[in-house]
């Protein structure tokens, strides 16, 4: 029997990042919801739905949906730190999903729906830990279960998952009853951070 290789804890760099931009990789339940919220935020250049936390071999919707891979559904967010900080992105994160329910967001149940921040640098790790301790606990009374772990890889989800809410909208009851109220709440609570064009 071959010996398992130890998993590297090195933070992997993101390639092809536009100059001056930074990346945030966040899991807060169904990636359609996370994507829909952050697409509304000023300073966000792109939001891509995908999978992080597992291996490339199982980075597909069917495998991840089984709950038997180590992946989480995530949004990879490219942002301009001169317009919006990582700390501000996390403030939105805490307010637009429930970080107190392990492996669950509403009716979406399984480890792929866990609350997780995949940090891309020691600076992001420090900001995330401070935000979890100070901001999240102001928003939620129950214990925060969000994982803060090093980024190890991102695999883009299938094409039909991208820009899902804007494309499908209320033709899918999930959008009507789950995503639309979440986006409306965000728009009201963070009116000062809404995209201007």
| pLDDT computed for residue 9 by the predictor | 43
| pLDDT computed for residue 197 by the predictor | 76
| pLDDT computed for residue 109 by the predictor | 96
Q: What is the mean pLDDT of the chain?
A: 92
Task: List the domain boundaries for the chain.
Answer: 22-179
Model's pTM, two decimal places? 0.92
CATH architecture of the domain formed by 22-179: 2-Layer Sandwich (3.30)
What six digits make up the tokens of 172?
């899918």
Min mean pLDDT across 2-6, 87-91, 117-121, 176-180 is at 2-6
Percentage of residues in the chain having pLDDT higher than 90:
88
Whole-angstrom distance, CA of residue 184 vs CA of residue 48:
21
Burial of 197 (0-12, 13-18, 19+ CB in 10 A): exposed
Please check the confidence at residue 101 and state whether its pLDDT lies above 60: yes
| pLDDT computed for residue 170 by the predictor | 85
Count, in order, helices (H) and strands (E) of the chain.
8, 8
| Residue 47 phi, psi dihedral angles, 5° rounding | -135, 125
Please check the confidence at residue 18 and state whether its pLDDT lies above 90: no
Cβ 131 vs Cβ 26: under 8 Å: no
Please check the confidence at residue 4 and state whether its pLDDT lies above 50: no
Query: Bridge-partner residues for 79, per DSSP?
Result: 22, 44
Task: Between 197 and 36, name the one with better pLDDT.
Answer: 36
| Residue 23 phi, psi dihedral angles, 5° rounding | -120, 140
What six digits make up the tokens of 94?
């805490």
Which residues belong to the active site?
30
pLDDT band at 14 (very low <50, low <70, confident <90, very high): low
Whole-angstrom distance, CA of residue 47 vs CA of residue 80:
12
Percentage of residues in the chain having pLDDT higher than 70:
92
Question: CA of 1: how far to CAs of 4, 118, 180, in Å?
Answer: 9, 32, 51
Whole-angstrom distance, CA of residue 74 vs CA of residue 155:
10
């Amino acid at each position: 029997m071959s010996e398992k290789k130890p998993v590297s804890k090195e933070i992997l760099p993101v390639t092809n990042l536009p100059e001056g931009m930074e990346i945030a990789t966040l899991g807060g339940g169904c990636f359609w919801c996370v994507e829909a919220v952050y697409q509304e935020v000023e300073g966000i250049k792109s939001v891509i739905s995908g999978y992080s936390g597992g291996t490339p071999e199982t980075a597909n919707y069917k495998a991840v949906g089984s709950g038997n891979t180590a992946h989480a559904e995530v949004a990879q967010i490219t942002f301009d730190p001169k317009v919006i900080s990582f700390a501000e992105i996390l403030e939105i994160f805490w307010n637009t999903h429930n970080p107190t329910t392990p492996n669950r967001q509403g009716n979406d149940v399984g480890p792929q729906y866990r609350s997780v921040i995949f940090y891309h640098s020691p600076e992001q790790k420090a900001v995330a830990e401070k935000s979890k301790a100070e901001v999240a606990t102001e928003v939620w009374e129950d214990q925060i279960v969000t994982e803060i772990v090093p980024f190890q890889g991102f695999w883009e989800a299938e094409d039909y998952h991208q820009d899902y809410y804007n494309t499908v909208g209320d033709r899918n009851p999930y959008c009507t009853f789950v995503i639309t109220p979440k986006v409306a709440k965000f728009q009201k609570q963070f009116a000062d951070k809404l995209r201007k064009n």
